[in-house]
Chain A
Amino acid sequence: AQSVTQLDSQVPVFEEAPVELRCNYSSSVSVYLFWYVQYPNQGLQLLLKYLSGSTLVKGINGFEAEFNKSQTSFHLRKPSVHISDTAEYFCAVSGRNSGNTPLVFGKGTRLSVIA
């Protein structure tokens, strides 16, 4: 079984400042990792995913994340945030070859960008 911990429930940051949203996971098997963004009253949009290969993954809207196997982390970063990045961000994990089990989500981090 897998679990995900998002260490910060809320992250306020000024516009054009860098941001890091932290995610740690637990799993007894190798994993796939995902970051999703949710804007108010909308569904989830995939930001980026780690499947294999390079541990630095680039996604949409200027976001990137780095897979660190030894620290079981998959932190999300953006060098300069915009007001439009204000949203809820979810980290999710899936075990490789885990059959038909659903993604396991963290509790989410609310990013608030301040003008």
Chain B
Amino acid sequence: GAVVSQHPSRVICKSGTSVKIECRSLDFQATTMFWYRQFPKQSLMLMATSNEGSKATYEQGVEKDKFLINHASLTLSTLTVTSAHPEDSSFYICSARDLDRGNSYEQYFGPGTRLTVT
């Protein structure tokens, strides 16, 4: 149980276009989802925390107008990179937490999405 999927796994887009990445909890209800960004050979950098039905909380330095997060249902959160530029190229990973479970400390990670902006 506790499987998280991401779609797409890889995406290449042109500079100036927008890209949407989906994060789904397949067998549980994710009351909270987290979005991370990972640069090559570096650790995960938390971008934002999203709770179902409310606005996301962004970490300092993350542009909320550029990285739009929508957590419209208990099984789906989306990250939209608007007006993408080459410097947005990165590996994006989501994770989900189910506060209704007894083990609310657990974060379940998706497989990641490799974004390349040309």
Contacts and interface: CB of A to CB of B under 8 A. Distances in A.
Interface residues of B, number: 23
Interface string B5-45: 01000000000000000000000000010100000011110
Contacts of A42: 111-112
Interface residues of A, number: 20
A87 interface: no
A105 B41 CA distance: 14
B114 interface: yes
Given A44-B93, A108-B42, A100 B32 contact: yes
Nearest to A101: B49
- For the residues of A in contact with B, the DSSP-based class is loop
B42 A107 contact: yes
Q: Which of B43, B49, B97, B110 has most A Cβ within 10 Å?
A: B43
Contacts of A110: 41
B43 A96 contact: no
Contacts of A105: 43-44
Which are the 9 A-B pairs with shortest beta-carbon distances? A43-B111, A44-B109, A43-B112, A107-B43, A43-B109, A102-B34, A32-B105, A94-B105, A108-B43
